[in-house]
Amino acid sequence: MLERTLRVNSLYDFYQSLLTDKQREYMKLYYFDDLSLAEISEHTKVSRQAVYDTLKRTEKILETYEDNLSLCEKYEQRLAIIQEVEESYGDPNKIKELVSKLKDLG
């Protein structure tokens, strides 16, 4: 569950701008404000089932964007390379190799 939350948070970071206001609102209430489905249902005057469906559908949309664009995955790859660079300042050849990897990532 925690792992799922971290994953959704990460996807949300990258793709929130592609969601509708409603999708963003429900995600925020559930994942960031930590409300229960019942509380969101009360807050939004929408049935608990409809809240659940919207959340599930939104998570699926986020995963589909990641399947297509891989922004999370590339970010993590880029970060790993940058961390290696930070451990290699004294070694220009190593840095050259890492920079070449960064370029390949796009």
Interacting residue ranges for its own copies, rule: CB under 8 A: 14-15, 17-18, 65, 68-69, 71, 75, 78-79, 82, 85-86, 89-90, 92, 95-96, 99, 102-103, 106
Q: How far is the CB of 17 from its own copies (least distance, A)?
A: 4
Nearer to its own copies, 5 or 70 (CB): 70
- Asked if 63 contacts 55 with a C-beta cutoff of 8 angstroms, the reply is no
C-beta of 48 vs 78, nearer to its own copies: 78
> Minimum distance from CB of 102 to its own copies (Å)?
6
- The residue type found at 3 is E
Find the helix or strand (DSSP H, E) in which 61 lies: helix 48-69
| Smallest distance from its own copies to CB 23, Å | 14
How many whole angstroms from its chain centre is CA 20? 16
Tell the residue number behind the tokens 């404000």, with chain if given: 33
Which residue's CB is nearer to its own copies, number 48 or number 94? 94
In the complex, least distance from residue 42 CB atom to its own copies, rounded to whole angstroms: 31
The residue with tokens 């970010």 is: 75
* Degrees, nearest 5: CA angle 6-36-42: 140
